Amino acid sequence: MSSPARKSTAREYFESIVIAVILALFIRTWVVQAFKIPTGSMEENLLIGDHLLVNKFVFGPTAGTAGEQLLPVGRVERGDILVFKFPDDPERDFIKRVIGLPGERIELRGKQVFIDGQPLDEPYLPPEATTLPAGAAPVDGRDNYGPLEIPAGHYFMMGDNRDNSQDSRYWGPLPHGHLKGRAMIIYWSYDAGPPVIDGGASGIQRFASTVGRFFTGTRWNRMFRQVG
């Protein structure tokens, strides 16, 4: 009796590639996603050029899908830093901090956040972020806001850089279905600095400059820092 025909090397490679692609898509869809900080809205906790890993598994699939029975759905807590689909343009991802939870009454008075009438302690911010400078007039909609009762299934999101953040003060509470994941760790941080233009440099010189810039621009002290 003849033995079964062996798979060709090309077919084995093809099957391995297909499996790898399926696993990569599964991981990116349900487990973890890389995210780069594009703006200064979360400074000083997250800087432009920080590269994060985002835990998507924590929230499981969108409510109502078959996978909801298989994957866990985590609980959103105040202070979480989350990546989500921007409500005004779902093709864009935003990252902000959860400040208000469903059913709570949120208000800002002179930069200070109040939840159900009580001032919110925000140890992750410097004192000047929650107080107006002496003699400064508050800006309505930014420093003064609300009061607003957060609807069920929604969250009030704010950037840590309160004077420079496009957040729920401008586009309203975030629906739960827009959440993508919780920021976990900074795996790399890079300060690109101003662009350097040197048209007279050779290819080797430009390559050496790029390599050198990688090492000098990397913020080594932020590598593998937990996000919180």
Write the pLDDT tens digit of every residue in 106-127.
999 999 999 999 999 999 999 8
4 lies in a domain? no
Per-residue CA distances from 171 to 87, 88, 111, 151, 186 (Å): 8, 8, 18, 14, 28
Coil, strand, or helix at residue 67?
helix
The structural domain count of the chain equals 1
180 lies in a domain? yes
8 lies in a domain? no
37 lies in a domain? yes
Determine the structural domain holding residue 195 and report its residue range. 14-226
Count Cβ atoms below 10 Å from residue 41 Cβ, excluding itself.
Answer: 21
Report pLDDT digits (tens) over 45-92: 999 999 999 998 877 554 444 444 444 456 899 999 999 999 999 999
**148-172 b/e (C-beta count within 10 Å ≥ 16 → b):** bebeeebbbbbbbbbeebebbbeeb
Q: Which residues are catalytic?
A: 41, 96
Q: Against a cut of 0.85, is the pTM above it?
A: no
75 lies in a domain? yes
202 lies in a domain? yes
87 lies in a domain? yes
**Could you tell me how many helices (H) and strands (E) the chain has, helices first?**
3, 12
Which residues on neighbouring strands pair with residue 140, listed in sequence order? 144
5 lies in a domain? no
CATH number at residue 201: 2.10.109.10
